[in-house]
Every structure is written in structure tokens, then in C-alpha cells.
């Protein structure tokens, strides 16, 4: 199946990165969001990130100009109807994602493949509420999308081979590497990564270390490029909490219970970098630990 037009739902951290790499790879991209401001910010970010790549000689000014012209934005979800492939990258909440697919269905072409960039929600369950579970799968990019090499491809129970191959071909054209994961809570990367981040928050909660000592211990002691709390702020604490809840509910094991301190940060609206405050405060020149 030949994919040329790709629709993206959600212009947040992930949506803008996905639009960036798809447009540079020559796809026609239409990105929607409920918020016009999110779309404007996304286009500014894409332009800034591409300029940086051009400055480093990774892409030419021509590549950049052509790619930017390939991205179209809209606040009307149904404008994605003519797409060959749709990548949903909206807020990590099942009801939000279900409503998006429900609204999209009457406007799609029969061959349109539906995918979700969800970090943890069951692909099989999302697929079962659509008219095309065999053409539905997980298309999970890593953050930041232009930098990270991996894309997890997750088959739901009904996903057919043609759909998998078509998505794999997109990953290949992006020059990224696909990892195939089964549809169990949080798939591969987050099944391993999130319990580590949650444990770092417990380590903070129990006073074993402060933000700085936990992050520098894991950077210098385990050779991680970023500390777990710095990484949690980068991912978004609401997303981290949502993934822990999916692991906890889906696998029914207390080892996945979210740390109460993580819940408290989210309740405060301290969601990490995207809200300027999380385990660090980003409002000044340098990030300052909040504990
Ligand atoms: P984000 O909060 O930065 O962006 C979400 C965007 O979705 C917002 O702009 C919001 O306005 C928009 N949105 C909400 N409801 C919508 C609707 N009904 N229709 C259209 N747009 C809507 O979140 P994010 O970090 O970009 O995460 C998006 C998805 O990607 C989530 O499923 C998340 O689990 C997944 N993901 C996140 C990361 C990460 O590191 N942040 C990594 C991989 C996957």
C-alpha cells in the first residue's frame, strides 16, 4: 500500500516532532489540534528545530523550505479524512483518543490506516471501537522525535500483515529503526523505563536522596545521559503518571503503583518542562531543583 498523505492528531511535544520528520521524508502532512495556539507553537518549534539542523549542515535550506510547505494545519479534525495514514498523538487519556477515532471514522477513506502514538493504552481495545481493527496499530515514536532512532510498532490482536508492512515502510523511509512489540501495557520501552522513573520518585519521596543527588547518581553511576527525574520532566509528569496507572490497572501488580509524590506534582499542575515546573523549576536561566 502506497502512503503519501499522513494526518496527525495533536500538535503537542510528540505531534510537532512527528510532523517534522514526516515532512522531511517527503510525506504530505496535515496536523490538527483542538487548540489553534498549540498548532501555531508547533509550527514555530518545527521551524526552529529545522533551522538548527540546517545550521549544522544536516539538511539544506531547500530541504527545509520544501518540508515546511508540506505541512498543513487545521483545528478541524475531519480535515484529516483524505489521509492514507493517521497518527493520533493527542493527550494520553483513553476517552480522548476514543472520541477522536469515533469522530474521524465517518470521514475516512476505506483504505486509511489508523494508528496511535499512545505510550501505554491497549491498541486492541482502541481498535475494537473502530470499523477497521485490522487496519489499526500502535505507532510509538520516542521523544524528541527528530533525534531518537526507535519507533515501536505494536500489533493489536486483529492487525493484518499489510497494515504492519505499510507502517514498517514508513519507519524505513524515515531512516529510523522499528521494534515490534506485543500489545501489553506500556509495550517494551515504557514497561522498563517508567517503573525506573517511578522508583526514582519513591527514592525522593522517602528522602533517600534529593533531586540533584538522584539524577547525578544515575548519570555518573549508571552512565545514563539524563537523570530519571530530569527525564520525567522532559516526558511530562502527567504522561508518566498515566503510564504508571495503565501498568498498575493492566497488570494488577502492586509493584507498579504510582508514587504519591508523582500524583501530587501532577495535581499541582507541575507537569515538567511543558508547564515550566516539575522536579525542576525552568522559569529562570538554569533549572533549579524543586526538592
Ligand atoms: P502534549 O500534552 O504535549 O500534547 C497533546 C496535544 O493533544 C495538545 O496540544 C492538546 O491540545 C491536543 N489534544 C487534546 N485533545 C485533543 C483532541 N480531542 N483533538 C486534537 N488534539 C487534542 O502530549 P505529548 O507528550 O505530545 O503526548 C501525546 C501522545 O504521545 C500521548 O499519547 C503520549 O503518551 C504519547 N507519547 C509521549 C511521549 C513523551 O515523551 N511525551 C513519548 C512517546 C509517546
Any catalytic annotation for residue 107? no
Nearest 5°: phi and psi at 9?
Answer: -105, 120
144 preceded by cis ω (within 30°)?
A: yes
For residue 272, the SS3 value is strand
User: Do residues 185 and 122 touch, judged by C-beta distance below 8 A?
Assistant: yes
What are 4-61's pLDDT values in tens digits? 999 999 999 999 999 999 999 999 999 999 999 999 999 999 999 999 999 999 999 9
Sign of CA dihedral 276, 227, 22, 93: negative
Q: Supply the mean pLDDT for the chain.
A: 97
Q: Is 274 annotated as ligand-binding?
A: yes
What is the position in ligand 1's atom list of the atom closest to the CA of 14?
Answer: 26
Active-site annotation holder among 119, 120, 122, 198: 119
Contacts of 198 (CB under 8 A, 6+ apart): 240, 244, 256, 258, 259, 262
Any catalytic annotation for residue 248? no
Contact 190 CB / ligand 1 (< 6 Å): no
Cα 16 versus chain centre, distance: 10
pLDDT the model gives residue 1: 77
Task: Name residues of the chain where pLDDT drops below 70.
Answer: none
Any catalytic annotation for residue 190? yes
Q: Which cell goes with 116?
A: 496511535
Cα 291 versus chain centre, distance: 27
Active-site annotation holder among 16, 116, 120, 152: 152
DSSP β-bridge partners for residue 4? none
Contact 17 CB / ligand 1 (< 6 Å): no
pLDDT the model gives residue 120: 85
Distance CA 71, CA 213 (A): 43
What is the position in ligand 1's atom list of the atom closest to the CA of 238?
Answer: 2
> What pTM did the predictor assign?
0.91
pLDDT the model gives residue 223: 98
Domains and CATH numbers, the chain: 5-182 (3.40.50.720), 190-289 (1.10.1040.10)
Contact 75 CB / ligand 1 (< 6 Å): no
Angle at 171 between CA 250 and CA 176, to 5 degrees: 95
Contact 35 CB / ligand 1 (< 6 Å): yes
Cα 269 versus chain centre, distance: 20
Strand ranges (E), 123-242: 136-141, 150-155, 177-182
Q: Is 31 annotated as ligand-binding?
A: no
Contact 239 CB / ligand 1 (< 6 Å): yes
Amino acid at each position: 500500500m502506497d502512503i503519501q498523505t499522513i494526518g496527525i492528531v495533536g500538535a503537542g511535544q510528540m505531534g510537532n516532532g512527528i510532523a517534522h520528520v514526516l515532512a522531511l521524508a517527503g510525506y504530505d502532512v496535515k496536523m490538527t489540534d483542538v487548540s489553534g495556539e498549540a498548532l501555531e507553537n508547533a509550527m514555530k518549534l518545527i521551524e526552529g528545530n529545522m533551522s538548527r539542523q540546517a545550521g549544522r549542515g544536516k539538511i539544506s535550506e531547500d530541504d527545509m523550505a520544501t518540508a515546511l510547505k508540506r505541512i498543513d494545519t487545521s483545528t478541524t479534525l475531519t480535515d484529516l479524512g483524505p489521509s492514507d495514514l493517521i497518527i493520533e498523538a493527542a493527550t494520553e487519556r483513553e476517552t480522548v483518543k476514543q472520541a477522536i477515532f469515533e469522530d474521524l471514522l465517518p470521514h475516512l477513506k476505506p483504505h486509511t490506516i489508523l494508528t496511535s502514538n499512545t505510550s501505554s493504552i491497549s491498541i486492541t481495545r482502541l481498535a475494537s471501537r473502530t470499523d477497521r481493527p485490522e487496519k489499526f496499530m500502535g505507532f510509538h515514536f520516542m521523544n524528541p522525535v527528530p533525534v531518537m532512532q526507535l519507533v515501536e510498532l505494536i500489533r493489536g490482536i486483529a492487525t493484518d500483515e499489510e497494515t504492519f508492512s505499510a507502517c514498517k515502510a514508513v519507519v524505513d523511509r524515515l531512516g529510523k529503526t522499528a521494534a515490534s512489540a506485543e500489545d501489553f501495557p506500556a509495550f517494551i520501552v515504557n514497561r522498563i523505563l517508567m517503573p525506573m522513573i517511578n522508583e526514582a520518585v519513591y527514592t525522593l519521596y522517602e528522602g533517600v536522596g534529593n533531586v540533584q543527588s538522584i539524577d547525578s547518581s544515575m548519570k555518573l553511576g549508571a552512565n545514563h545521559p539524563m537523570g530519571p527525574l530530569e527525564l520525567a520532566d522532559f516526558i511530562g509528569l502527567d504522561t508518566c503518571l498515566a503510564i504508571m496507572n495503565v501498568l498498575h490497572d493492566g497488570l494488577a501488580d502492586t509493584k507498579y503503583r504510582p508514587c504519591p509524590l508523582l500524583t501530587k506534582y501532577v495535581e499541582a499542575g507541575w507537569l515538567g518542562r511543558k508547564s515550566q515546573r516539575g522536579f525542576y523549576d525552568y522559569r529562570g536561566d538554569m533549572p533549579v531543583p524543586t526538592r
